[in-house]
Structure 1
Amino acid sequence: MRTSSVLLALPALSCAQQIPYLEQIKGFFTTKVSHAASGMPTSIPNPLTAATGKIAEVSVPQLTLANHKELIKPGAATASPGIETWMVYVTGGNKTCFGTCGRAEEAFNGSVVLIEASPTAPNLAYLNCDQDQVLCAAWAVSPPNVLHMQLPQPLPDQSQPPSTVRAIQVNRTTITTSQIAAIHLEDKYLDSPVYEGFWHPFNGPLADYGLNIPAGYAIWAFSVIPSWAFMIGISMISRNIMSRRAQAPPARRSAGAPPAAAAPATAK
């Protein structure tokens, strides 16, 4: 009876002895897998995002009031190709874009690597209207915007053909990287009309006479003066005009006016 009990207990003892070994084996594989997983990224990053997060800050020059004439200009008459093409992204901050240019700026940063990979890639630059309000005012542009410029090179007689400028407005909330890249890659700039107005940065009347930058300074000065200062100035000028009119002598008789009638003679 005792022998049968012992025999019946042997399988249970055998299982009890095997359980620690199974747990050790399971723990060993679990540890190896966790170590292997810890060395791998939890998610695969987007290569486009990883590559272009800060590319615009590195490879795209900033257009400023000091360097715009030296940076954006046609090449030599003997250079190739015959037209210098520029894409200038106009952005801003809280002053000129009210803090809503973030999405458009990310889209432009992402489009830089796509545009530069094109065999006919244009020259790229960006203009910050918060930092260069005078230049933005002189060119009559506001963010977010993309300026597509084509500057022909001088002719053999050194005459300069007119430049082509297109201002492409960018949607602040729905713009994407592919849409900005398509401006060049798919020639979407041709859908926008050529600007030929008064504020043309190269061939407009102000630019021809060298008055576009002074006009930009004037517009910038008016924008920084508070409205209450304008009201006080207008009030002082109007009061000065009214006081001068009140103190002015009565108007003299004009030379062509008929003489006054003589007083009748009294009878003697």
Structure 2
Amino acid sequence: MRPSSALVLAFAASTVAQDQVLLVDKLKGWFAQATAAVSSAVPAAASSPVASGRAKAAESIQHELTLENWKETLTVDPSVSTPTTQEWLVYITGGNATCFGFCGNTTKAWNTSLPLLAAKPNPPKFAVIDCDAQPVLCNSWSVGPPSLYYFQIPKPLADQSAPAATVRYQPLNRTSTTTDTLKKLVLDNELENVVPYEGYFHPFNGPLQQYGLAVPLAYVIWGFSKMPSWLPMILISFMSRTIMGRRGQGPAPRAAAQPAQ
């Protein structure tokens, strides 16, 4: 084969290959556009009516706690005579920020079981905290989702004295928690076997609450959680260089003693 013929054939082959690549790219682009058009044209699937009904039923039973209202909400009915103790069961949940999007299973189990829990004799009162919406409150209690906080709050006596509130904290498994799990904890009184919490972050009687430090500390923790991951490293590096620089300077030299005249 002559060299000129070989060059012609090579040029033709490369041209065909380039045309095939361009055709494939055009097909990919067209397919992406068609997929986007179909996705925008098809409406999002509506949530299950059963799930929506459960969520509405749960909302009608439980109280939503915030940093501003929790102390006024978690109280004893003033019409009840003393001595008495009011039980509160608080479900702690979250979203993408505090539960990484994995609280859906436990929330579904909570909403499903809540009417059953409320039907027990002398049921506790129910409340919920969304740590995505109330991060400072969750940090002031040092709790995270998904979990339960079980309160037994005594009513103050006539002289306003009252025993300390008993609190029990029970974390929930994000994947394996079911309605049966909550039934056993509440209806079968397994929560009573949890050792009461008496640490620094006790919501009522902890030292941080008594000295007014829980909320300021919670803001600090929340601020650190919002800080970019690279910023602490820069601050640590800056501080370490400053300290090492001061050490490297050493003590100031003493002035030489002047000879006596």
Cα deviations by residue, 1:51-102 (Å, 9 ceiling, x for unpaired): 5243223432211112111111234485367001100000011111111111
Residue 186 of structure 1 is aligned with which of 185, 188, 197?
Answer: 188
CA distance in 2, matches of 1:245, 1:90: 49
What corresponds to 1:222 in structure 2? 224
What corresponds to 1:72 in structure 2? 74
Q: How has the CA–CA distance of structure 1 residues 81 and 120 changed in structure 2, closer, same or farther, with 3 Å as cutoff? A: farther
Amino acid at match of 1:225: M
Check the 8 A contact 2:83/2:154 in 1, yes or no. Answer: no
Check the 8 A contact 2:148/2:169 in 1, yes or no. Answer: yes
What corresponds to 2:152 in structure 1? 150
What corresponds to 2:234 in structure 1? 232
What corresponds to 2:45 in structure 1? none
Check the 8 A contact 2:82/2:156 in 1, yes or no. Answer: no
CA distance in 1, matches of 2:178, 2:199: 29
Q: How has the CA–CA distance of structure 1 residues 70 and 157 changed in structure 2, closer, same or farther, with 3 Å as cutoff? A: same
Amino acid at match of 1:191: N
Structure 2 spans left out of the alignment, 5+ residues: 1-49
TM-score (normalizing by structure 1): 0.70
Alignment of 1:14-163 (within 5 A): 52-76=54-78, 79=81, 82-163=84-165
Cα deviations by residue, 1:197-245 (Å, 9 ceiling, x for unpaired): 1111111111111211111111111111122111111222223333444
Identity among equivalent positions (%) equals 45
What corresponds to 2:175 in structure 1? 173
Check the 8 A contact 2:87/2:151 in 1, yes or no. Answer: yes
CA distance in 1, matches of 2:231, 2:135: 21
Q: How has the CA–CA distance of structure 1 residues 65 and 244 changed in structure 2, closer, same or farther, with 3 Å as cutoff? A: same
Cα deviations by residue, 1:28-47 (Å, 9 ceiling, x for unpaired): xxxxxxxxxxxxxxxxxxxx
The alignment yields a C-alpha RMSD, in angstroms, of 2.6
Check the 8 A contact 1:115/1:181 in 2, yes or no. Answer: yes
Amino acid at match of 1:238: S
Query: Number of aligned pairs?
Result: 209
Please report how far the alpha carbon of residue 174 of structure 1 lies from its aligned counterpart in structure 2 after TM superposition.
1.5
Cα deviations by residue, 1:104-127 (Å, 9 ceiling, x for unpaired): 000000111111212311110111
Q: What is the DSSP-based 3-state SS (H/G/I as helix, E as strand, rest coil) of the residue aligned with 1:236?
A: helix
Q: How has the CA–CA distance of structure 1 residues 251 and 119 changed in structure 2, closer, same or farther, with 3 Å as cutoff? A: farther
CA distance in 1, matches of 2:235, 2:53: 54
CA distance in 2, matches of 1:77, 1:50: 34
Does residue 207 of the first structure (1) align with residue 209 of the second (2)?
A: yes
Q: What is the DSSP-based 3-state SS (H/G/I as helix, E as strand, rest coil) of the residue aligned with 2:196?
A: coil
CA distance in 2, matches of 1:212, 1:196: 15
Q: How has the CA–CA distance of structure 1 residues 208 and 237 changed in structure 2, closer, same or farther, with 3 Å as cutoff? A: same
Q: What is the DSSP-based 3-state SS (H/G/I as helix, E as strand, rest coil) of the residue aligned with 2:128?
A: strand
Structure 1 spans left out of the alignment, 5+ residues: 1-47, 254-259, 263-268
Q: How has the CA–CA distance of structure 1 residues 157 and 81 changed in structure 2, closer, same or farther, with 3 Å as cutoff? A: closer
